[in-house]
Structure formats: C-alpha cells, structure tokens
Copies of this chain bind each other. A is one copy, B any other.
C-alpha cells in the first residue's frame, strides 16, 4: 500500500512544475521523451490521475474532449481564465459566482449542486503577436 517514489513520477511532477500553462497528458509525455527522460504514456496518465486525486493538480476538459493538467498555486476551490492560444492561465476566485450557483440550485429544488465555470480568451501577448 505504500507509495513509492520513482524516476517516472518525479519526471512527470517536474514537467508539470516547469509549465505554468495547462498541458495535456500527451504533451507532457512528448516533453519528457524529447528531453531524454522517457516515461510510458500509461504511466503519465496514472501519475496525473493520482495527482488530481490528491488535489495537487487541476484538470479541465477542452471542448474537444481532451484533458488538460496544471499545478495550481491555490489549493482552494477556484476557476480559470485560460488563453485559447498559448494556454496561459490566471486562477480566479469568484465568491459571487459561488453564491449565485448555490442560490440557483436551491431555487429550483436541486441539491448537491456542483458547477463548472471556465473562462477562455486571448491574452494580451498573443494579441500583440498575432496582430488584431
């Protein structure tokens, strides 16, 4: 039952620490391979899942159904403002939205309310780079 520290787990954790953007399992896998620190794809997925379960990493799903992972600064519940183009992410705390969500649920007789709230946009740098 003991959790072991392995080269692979350390490598995945390190790759996550190095990128402030949300990244997919496959991107992380490729990054590690390119760096000569190869880790099996299945292991990347397993490690990410464990980190998510432990609350150390956040996941979000793109509109195309791919999962993106990121080690967030805030451990508490929060949302994200993500750049569509480069993945740059701002962690957002929205007390007003939290209140709104539970009020809406209660008003319609729903219980155990959960909410997904994500914001997507184009960051200032990407606008400067791509024109427009």
Contact = CB atoms under 8 A, between A and B. Distances in A.
B104 A81 contact: yes
Contact of A111 (B63, B65, B113, B127): B127
A69 to B, nearest CB: 15
Interface residues of A, number: 33
A94 B90 contact: no
A104 B90 CA distance: 10
A114 interface: yes
Nearest to A83: B110
10 contacts: A61-B61, A83-B110, A97-B97, A101-B119, A104-B119, A109-B124, A111-B124, A114-B119, A115-B118, A117-B117
